[in-house]
Chains A and B, each alone.
Chain A
């Protein structure tokens, strides 16, 4: 059955796509998904790449910054105030600041987004470490834990739930913000959205938008799952 039916269909699809052309502009268009599968795949991969590197970079910088902020009183207010102020700067505004230094590259987008993720993550790490009960810290001292071992073995693991909550917020917003990177042609799915607006291509636009939301949902779910694995002691 499939052989006889598919043959004429593919011929027609090659000569003229059924739901996207200069005259037909459907929002949902399966033949677009087939024809441009490789475009969609590479845009999604780029989107994922930018998001993951940016959030990871943000976290790597956030942890020492948060530790410092907790040590030094005036730095704490300064860091938290600065990160809040930074968040009011629009995402679009960071790009012209970075481009003269890093050019129209993926690095520009990654650095800009990492700064945004950082503003959320520093606060989350500080809050997380604050949430560790003092008697637990005392117990660790009593067991002979030095400062570093106490931090790594006791305080950071106990701070994971709060840090993870911040990591989820940072990741989901970074996925959405990545689209703005289309201004320097590195916006992952945002490139397809920009192209969709430029060429009035509805199928491309809707597909990219939906993929973007899906990506955020999947990454969020993965973080929740990862958090369950890491904090196995919470169920015990």
Chain B
């Protein structure tokens, strides 16, 4: 298996990790892109979805947005953004070439899982629980903060977790428009027919995806423990 040998050699050679454009450099860049895009999507999507779920309105948005997100290829969206007059291939701070376009595309792709899960989570808090809250004299706002949100939290957070891993994996596509991130190792490998190198990039991306998934799952478990205890008490 020459391919896997090449991959192993590429990954174990220290020189490939350090320096400008090295694996660590690209990894940091992609991590920064992923987290920024996720935060952007959270700031935009979460309040909207939670509010709509509280009102029980706009279900068509929550239901159809994931379909739209699936149907639009990230590559196509990224290509359009890069070719347009704005944002084009502008660099945004530490995000590298075409960083702004990549950031926008990734934030848009983080929106569907966040919105759908948050909406469904609040919407599906059992009716009798909501009625009990009304019966206790809670106002709409109190009902949302003290009843609906704590009960909805696990599902809301699982949407965020899904978005995080998806955005991380999708960020590699930025390399198809010569953008930032680890995808560049893969496309470079193709350009020079060094498939072992390409695979090395892929391995790093997949490993970090697993680490992110596990870390996010741990964080979710930690943060969800509080409302569970209070609800059973």
Contacts and interface: CB of A to CB of B under 8 A. Distances in A.
A148 B226 CA distance: 49
A193 interface: yes
Decide if the interface of chain B is mainly helix, strand, loop or mixed. Answer: helix
Given A176-B70, A183-B187, A217-B71, A88 B206 contact: yes
B199 A96 contact: yes
B76 interface: yes
B7 to A, nearest CB: 9
Contacts of B125: none
B173 A92 contact: yes
B202 A96 contact: yes
A179 B176 CA distance: 10
B67 interface: yes
Contact of B72 (A94, A176, A202): A176
A205 B83 contact: yes
B66 to A, nearest CB: 9
B112 to A, nearest CB: 12
B134 interface: no
B71 A176 contact: yes
Given A88-B213, A197-B83, A213-B71, A96 B195 contact: yes
A89 B79 contact: no
Decide if the interface of chain A is mainly helix, strand, loop or mixed. Answer: helix
Contact of B83 (A169, A183, A200): A200
Interface string A170-183: 00110111111011
A208 B80 CA distance: 10
Interface in B178-209: 183, 186-187, 189-190, 195, 198-199, 201-203, 205-206, 209
Given A180-B173, A197-B83, A208-B76, A93 B186 contact: yes
B3 A100 contact: yes
B73 A93 contact: no
Nearest to B66: A169
Given A197-B83, A197-B177, A93 B202 contact: yes
Given A97-B199, A183-B190, A88 B79 contact: no
A96 B209 contact: no
Nearest to A208: B76
A213 to B, nearest CB: 5
Interface stretch (B17-25, B41-49, B136-144, B164-172): B164-172
Interface string B48-82: 00000000000000000001001111111101101
Contact of A85 (B76, B168, B210): B210
B175 interface: yes
A152 B201 CA distance: 44
Interface residues of A, number: 41
Contact of B205 (A93, A99, A182): A93
A93 to B, nearest CB: 3
A91 B73 CA distance: 12
Contact of A209 (B73, B201, B213): B73
Interface of B: 2-3, 67, 70-77, 79-80, 82-83, 165-166, 168-170, 172-173, 175-177, 183, 186-187, 189-190, 195, 198-199, 201-203, 205-206, 209-210, 213
- In the A-B complex, the 6 residue pairs with the smallest Cβ-Cβ separation, listed nearest first, are A93-B202, A96-B198, A209-B76, A90-B169, A176-B73, A216-B71
Interface of A: 85, 88-97, 99-100, 169, 172-173, 175-180, 182-184, 190, 193-194, 196-197, 200, 202, 205-206, 208-209, 212-213, 216-217, 220
Given A88-B165, A90-B170, A184-B190, 7 more contacts: A90-B173, A172-B67, A173-B70, A176-B70, A183-B187, A197-B176, A216-B70
13 contacts: A88-B165, A90-B205, A91-B169, A93-B172, A93-B202, A95-B198, A175-B73, A176-B72, A178-B73, A180-B173, A194-B176, A197-B79, A212-B73
